[in-house]
Amino acid sequence: MLDKNIFFFLQARIGSTRLPGKVLLPFYENDTILDIIIDKLKANFPEIPVIVCTSDNDLDNSIESYCNEKNVQCFRGSENNVLKRFFEAANFYKTDTIIRVCADNPFLDISFMKELLEFHYENPNADYWSFKTGDNIPVIKTHFGFFAEIVSKVALKKVLQNTFDPLYLEHVTNYIYSNNNYETKLKPLPDYLINRTDLRFTIDDLGDFTELQKVFQFYKKNSNDIKKTISFADNNEVIVKKMVSNIIKYSK
């Protein structure tokens, strides 16, 4: 049964140090990464509101303008205290449950999203819901770029009360899954992903952007089939080398 009080919060900003403005650059045909993610969410989950959560930095005025043009809700809050931004957005929209989506991930997978939502509904009283690797690490710590995560507003409030560490204020859910005082529900990945440490479908820099544009062309031509897309990447030596190189470079 659908939780009527659940929202997508799409975290986005212009001021990326590695590739400024990447979320509003044309990525596939004339679509930006924000276009791709928002259109996916709206098409597949029309009953769940989508909120773009950006910062109050003037640089992000362009994201607010984009949202106005696309008729998408936009919430603006602290640039560096992203945790506070999300908590304030949850209060503003009166939601108790947040599906956090990163705007770096055009390969966000809808089938995994549906599985995660079902997993959440089966375990409604936890603080945090995610997939996990073979080492029991939440997938947000990987470079896959296929996944979202779900967190309760109550858990975010507790974190705000318990830490002032900039690491945990910038990375919204890190404190929750790193701390035994929170109830986390972690769903195992499918076998073809569970021990893969060499896959990177998230976008940080210009190299990611240009290489993954080519991969995305294949992905779209193959009905957004992520398993086929992984096989395509595996069979391309240049793509594999770039992924592994940036995994090492940008390890979380």
What's 18's domain CATH number?
3.90.550.10
pLDDT one-digit tens code per residue, 36-46? 999 999 999 99
Tell me the mean pLDDT in the region 120-132.
Answer: 96
Whether the per-residue pLDDT at 230 is higher than 70: the answer is yes
Tell me, yes or no, whether 244 lies in a domain. Answer: no
* C-alpha–C-alpha distance, residues 99 and 184, integer Å: 14
To the nearest whole percent, how much of the chain has pLDDT over 70? 98
Average pLDDT, whole number, for the chain? 95
* C-alpha–C-alpha distance, residues 108 and 243, integer Å: 17
Q: How many domains does the chain have?
A: 1
pTM for this predicted structure = 0.95
The residue segments making up the domain with residue 86 are 6-199
Tokens of 145: 């770029």
* C-alpha–C-alpha distance, residues 149 and 12, integer Å: 15
Tell me, yes or no, whether 220 lies in a domain. Answer: no
What is the reported pLDDT for 16?
84
Tell me, yes or no, whether 247 lies in a domain. Answer: no
To the nearest whole percent, how much of the chain has pLDDT over 90? 94
Q: pLDDT: is 147 or 180 the higher one?
A: 147
Tell me, yes or no, whether 215 lies in a domain. Answer: no
pLDDT band, residue 17 (cuts 50/70/90) = confident
Tell me, yes or no, whether 216 lies in a domain. Answer: no
Tell me, yes or no, whether 208 lies in a domain. Answer: no
* C-alpha–C-alpha distance, residues 5 and 94, integer Å: 8
Tell me, yes or no, whether 194 lies in a domain. Answer: yes
Q: For the chain, what's the residue count?
A: 252
Tell me the mean pLDDT in the region 16-26.
Answer: 92
Whether the per-residue pLDDT at 129 is higher than 80: the answer is yes
pLDDT band, residue 251 (cuts 50/70/90) = confident
Tell me the mean pLDDT in the region 178-193.
Answer: 95
User: Alpha helices of the chain — where are they, by DSSP H?
Assistant: 33-44, 61-70, 82-92, 110-122, 153-162, 166-170, 174-177, 191-194, 206-221, 226-234, 237-249
Tell me, yes or no, whether 229 lies in a domain. Answer: no
Tell me the mean pLDDT in the region 65-74.
Answer: 97
Whether the per-residue pLDDT at 1 is higher than 80: the answer is no
Say if residue 113 is exposed, middle or buried (CB neighbours under 10 Å; 0-12, 13-18, 19+): buried
